[in-house]
Amino acid sequence: TGVPVAWSIAFSTLVVIYFGLVPLPPSWFAQQVYMGADSISLASIPLFLVAGGIMNKGGLTRRIIDLANDMVGWVRGGLGV
């Protein structure tokens, strides 16, 4: 049908919750969503992206790539190795 997998999973989950096919209270679902989002691992993702943006604006990423290229650039495959 051309629908992405994530949307089909979300739709089927909402249908099951709406029609009450799972004998769990609605507060349980909210608690599970909160517990999944309240994770230090998930907090590290945006911080990693911010650090990358700061390094890129300051020109540090170019210097790191140049250093790595100087160290292994002569090897076949270069930075891929």
Cα–Cα–Cα angle for 3, 35, 45, nearest 5°? 70
Angstrom distances, CA of residue 23 to CA of 35, 36, 51: 20, 21, 44
Q: Which position has the higher pLDDT, 42 or 53?
A: 53
Tell me if the pTM is above 0.85.
Answer: no
**Domain chopping of the chain, boundaries:** 1-38, 39-81
Arithmetic mean of pLDDT over the chain: 87
Assess whether pLDDT exceeds 80 at residue 31: yes
pLDDT of residue 51: 95
Q: How many CB atoms within 10 Å of residue 55?
A: 14
